[in-house]
Structure 1
Amino acid sequence: MNFLQKLFGRTSLPLEEGPPIRFGRYSDSYKSKQQYEAWDRSLEAFEKEDYLESYRQFFQYLHDPREDNVILREDNPARLEFELLQGSRKVHGYADRRRFRAEAKIARAKDLSVGFLRRLVEENFDLKYCRYALDEENNILIVFDTHSLDSSPYKLYHALKEAATKADKQDDLLLDEFKSLEPAESGFKEDLPEAEKAVKYRYLTTEIQRAFQELDSGKPDPNQYPGAYAYLLLSLCYKFDYLLKPE
């Protein structure tokens, strides 16, 4: 123990107190014991053909109490209605003893041009569980539906993940490429607190100054390592995209 203390030091620098800041992107990879128990109960209920209870436990598994990302309603005892929040998109749908359906709005078409319709048809071939569709108001949807008999928790998880991530990604891509499209809904973006903005802005300026100090010092030699500066700037952009961009 004494050797390790000498090697790593006996004391550490005090941490600067400040507002609670979360850097990086959200991930649901780490779940609580209660969530895993809900997953097991969902599997057991599905095997017993108690589909509504299986759905209830499945959404309990998805629910993150820190984010409140799942809203479940049971106004009708024979039907569940749900909402899932993923980035700036919302996946909503219903489930009963016969069917499970989920959909998310991506964009709204002012006119049905061949360009984006062809793109959606091509994208459909890459989807494993969902499909793109148009509703009566020319909203572009990503839709997943299945019979309850075939709606195992494994299938639901991967299908909803595909619907949520594709909806959150495709809205920006399609709106940027096709001018005949417009946002389908206002979205669910929230402004960061001013204290958090100040901390992240300070991190932004500090990292930029540090990178340019490396460039101005001439080390490593740009003539000997011409790609080093490019990698330094790429590393800077990656930090900002991953740590500062809320996603």
Structure 2
Amino acid sequence: MGWLDKLFGKNEEQQQNRESHEHVSAEASAIAAPFTGLDGIRFGRYSDNNKSYKKTQSWYIAEDRFKEKNYTEAFAALFDYLRDDVEDNIRFRPDGRSFTFDILQGSKQVHGECDGDRLTARVPLAVMDTPATAVMRRLLEMNFSLYYTRSAIDGDNTLCMVFDTEVPSASPNKMYYGLRELATKADRQDDLLLADFETLKPTGIDHIKALDPAELDMKYTWFRKWIQDTLNNAGELNQDSFSGSIAYMLLALVYRIDFLITPEGKLLTQLERIHALYWEKKEEITLVERNQMMKEAVRKLLDITREEFSASVYRSKSSFAISSPGPTDKVREHIINANNDSRWYIDNKYPALALVLNEYGVMYNQFIYSMPRVLADLATIYMAVMHAKYFTALGMQQPLFDPAKSEFNKQAIRKATDEAVNRYTDKFPNLRWDHNLVAYDNLYAFGTSFTEQMANLNLETKR
């Protein structure tokens, strides 16, 4: 059996069994067993910063085969590297020198083909029955920000994005960044185009699944509750002397919504704009003024109707992260600094604000970086403790914390943590977790001790 046969398998029965197993895996939650009841629900943004040691070897094989001009095996190894077996996000169909492929990214699906000499990948964005100058201008402006791809209109009046390349120049690096730009930009642009131009019609969205009405209602209720509670709590503080605290509250709210509700499209863009209000003009605008701008933007989120909310919250699969991996020292620094700052609030009798600081440090990393999945899983355990009522409302059968009794489910927390850590020891051979370092005196003690151990994990990869 040749190398390609070993990689993709030519035994039809084996292929069907593998695809069946992968389908089941994709439907199951990627979180530890104590999260029974939350199957299929994702927390946090999709990250492709989770490749196993075996997948990483496929990348090196792709580079070696490309240098040898063995393009058939180079492409096969590259798509094996890109494919997330749990996510079940990519289909690659080789046929000699030719092949076709499909890549899922949120609300969009990339369709590609190669005849052995040239590769073309295309994503439909929306249908424009009547030409509109404003739409064309938007696409033209978008083209200036693209490096590997371009927008276009086909003969059926479908707006689309295209990536193409000659095979001899299709190095693994060019393919990765080209397909990543195509998939992530298209996923973002289709939602924005449809939201901004009512004459456009959606297309190519048959693969996404709407949330169950009960889950949608629950998430919409908590979305509004978190916003209203944050605005009320911020309004009770002195806007000058507690300006730093208010900023942390507003940013932590944005990052919590992003992690626990995982919105797409227009709502995600709104959250990113609120985040930018704080960071982009930090040296030009006072903190009090930036807080006011953020509060106004957060308050506008309350105007989002249930129907508009549902358009940004749905089941989908992804293949590329929208952010880059974070430097290990920076990830650690954000958590440790937030925890250190939180101690002032404990010493001065503001325990609720101390919890906000603790949450901010963890969630900030999840918002701005493509995080290793082990840290995303541990962050989910942390949030399931700190926001136990939300997880219970979502369907979690074994809550990790009982707010009414202020009791921790230590056994479930330890089991979830062990399963999260042990799942990645092949990639991180020096990964260790010490349960004795986790304190259960109260939520603050748990939060700081749990997250500081997260910050200090040894994530040196296997060579």
TM-score, reference length from structure 2: 0.45
Q: Equivalent residue for 1:107?
A: 126
Question: In structure 1, what is the equivalent of residue 316 of structure 2?
Answer: none
Partner Cα separation in structure 2 for residue 194 and residue 147 of structure 1: 47
Quick one: which of 235, 239, 242 aligns to 2:252? 235
Distance 1:53 1:229, change over 3 A: same
Residues 124 and 215 from structure 1, CA distance in 2 versus in 1: closer, same or farther, beyond 3 angstroms?
closer
Q: 1:156 maps to what in 2? A: 175
Q: Which deviates more, 139-148 or 224-233?
A: 224-233
- What's 2:436 paired with? none
Does the 8 Å CA contact 1:103/1:143 hold for their aligned counterparts? yes
Alignment counterpart, residue 36 of structure 1, candidates 34, 46, 56: 56
Give the CA deviation at 1:206: 7.5
Distance in 1 (CA, whole Å) between partners of 2:232 and 2:199 is 45
What displacement does 1:243 show?
A: 2.5
In the alignment, residue 243 of structure 1 is paired with which amino acid?
L
Structure 2 partner of 1:64: 84
Q: Which consecutive unaligned segments of at least 5 residues does structure 1 have? A: 1-14
Q: 2:46 aligns with which of 12, 20, 26?
A: 26
How many Å separate the matches in 2 of 1:208 and 1:90?
33
Tell whether the 8 Å contact from 2:120 to 2:165 is kept in structure 1 after alignment: yes
Which among 52, 71, 84 is matched to residue 72 of structure 2?
Answer: 52
Could you tell me which residue of structure 1 aligns to residue 339 of structure 2? none
Q: Show the 5 A alignment for 1:87-106.
A: 87-106=106-125
> What is the aligned partner in structure 2 of residue 190 from structure 1?
209
For the 8 Å contact 2:109–2:204, the answer to whether it is kept is no
The 3 A distance-change label for structure 1 pair 202 and 137 is closer
Shift of the alpha carbon at 1:233?
Answer: 3.9
In 2: Cα distance, 1:198 partner to 1:116 partner: 33
Aligned residues: 230
RMSD: 3.0
Q: Deviations over 1:85-128 (max 9, x none)?
A: 00010011112321111110111111112221122122212111
Deviation at 1:161, TM superposition (A): 0.4
Identity of aligned residues (%): 38
Q: Is the helix fraction higher in 1 or 2?
A: 2
Aligned equivalents of 2:217 and 2:194: distance in 1?
A: 31
Question: Comparing both structures, which one devotes a greater share of its residues to strand?
Answer: 1
Q: 1:212 to 1:177 in 2, by over 3 A?
A: closer
Equivalent residue, structure 2, for 1:178:
197
The 8 Å contact of residues 108 and 205 in structure 2, kept in 1 or not, is answered as no
Question: What is the alpha-carbon distance in structure 2 between the residues aligned to residue 196 and residue 63 of structure 1?
Answer: 29
**Counterpart AA for 1:175:** L
Contact 1:19 1:195 in 2 (8 A): no
Letter in 1 for 2:85: P
Query: 202-211 or 98-107: which moved more?
Result: 202-211
Q: Deviations over 1:146-201 (max 9, x none)?
A: 11010000000000000001100000111122233111233432245789779867
Could you tell me which runs of 5 or more consecutive residues in structure 2 were left unpaired when the two chains were aligned.
Answer: 1-32, 265-463
Q: Please identify, of 84-93 and 230-239, the stretch whose mean Cα deviation from structure 2 is larger.
A: 230-239
Distance 1:18 1:198, change over 3 A: farther
Equivalent residues of 1:131, 1:143 under 8 A apart: yes
Aligned to 2:166: 147
| 1:152–1:238 distance in 2 versus 1, CA, 3 Å | same
Matched letter for residue 235 of structure 1: A
- 1:230 Cα deviation from its structure 2 partner: 6.3
Please, what TM-score do these two structures have when normalized by structure 1?
Answer: 0.80
SS, match of residue 140 in structure 1: strand
Structure 1 238/52 Cα, relative in aligned 2: closer, same or farther at 3 Å?
same
